[in-house]
Amino acid sequence: MSDLICVGAVAGAFGVRGEVRLKSFCAIPAEIVDYSPLTNEDGSQSYTLTLTRPVKNGFAALLSGIETKEEADAAQGLRLFARRDQLPSLPDDEYYHADLMGLEVYDTGGTLLGTVKSVQNHGAADLLEIHGPGLKSAVLLPFTLAAVPTVDLEKGRIVADPPDGVF
């Protein structure tokens, strides 16, 4: 498990005074500011975050070190991370997406189906994107208790009971 968890991303510039359009990945989006200062993915840069106002699909925000529209444009795509120890503990049946990526997925009979490449959400529920040697293309497995009855982070594996026709 990584010590850094992605909590947001810069979607581009907002206005002409160095503000950025920020997407928060927190359960309560405004709580992203509670984890400031945030870092880039490798932890080499640190950013103090100030939310200025809500905007469509996120927030207008100020990040330390970004003072012009050109710098804000250049920051587009920057993913912002918080240390795991800053984040709240989760109940037993909830997981950070970062903890699921890379886990091996087995069916209920013990056959390896593939590995979780990403966790996606297109509005209805989380989907595990699974890649594997026997798969022609990526498989999207619903991340529900019925389809994924067991997640064992210590052993690095998921036991899945996929709906018919998914694999």
- Domain for residue 165, yes or no? no
Lowest mean pLDDT among 88-92, 135-139, 144-148: 88-92
Residue 28 inside a domain? The answer is yes
Quick check: is 27 in a domain? yes
pLDDT at 79: 95
114 domain residue, yes or no = yes
| Mean pLDDT estimate for the chain | 91
Percent residues over pLDDT 70 in the chain: 99
Q: Which two tokens stand for residue 9?
A: 């991303």
> Could you tell me if 78 and 142 lie in one domain?
no
CA distance 156 to 84: 18
- Among residues 86, 121, 139, the one where a domain terminates is 86
Helix (H/G/I), strand (E/B), else coil: 159: strand
| Residue 53 sits in the same domain as residue 76 | yes
Whether residues 44 and 25 fall in one domain: yes
Same domain, 78 and 126: no
What six digits make up the tokens of 110?
Answer: 């013990």
Mean pLDDT of 145-158: 92
Q: Are residues 14 and 70 in the same domain?
A: yes
CA distances from 60 to 13, 26, 52, 53, 65 (A): 9, 16, 6, 5, 16
17 & 61 share domain: yes
Total domains in the fold of the chain: 2
pLDDT at 9: 95
Say yes or no: 75 and 135 in one domain.
no
Residue 153 in any domain: the answer is yes
Taking only the tens place, the pLDDT of each residue in 49-104 is 999 999 998 999 999 999 999 999 999 999 999 998 888 888 888 888 888 999 99
Asked whether residue 1 carries a pLDDT value surpassing 70, the answer given is no
Same domain? 139 vs 77: no
Tell me whether residue 80 is in a domain.
yes
Domain range spanning residue 123?
97-160
Do the domain assignments include residue 91? no
Q: Is residue 2 predicted with pLDDT exceeding 70?
A: no
Q: 108 lies in a domain?
A: yes
pTM: 0.74
DSSP string, 45-74: -EE-EEEEEEETTEEEEEETT--SHHHHHH
Same-domain status, 78 and 136: no
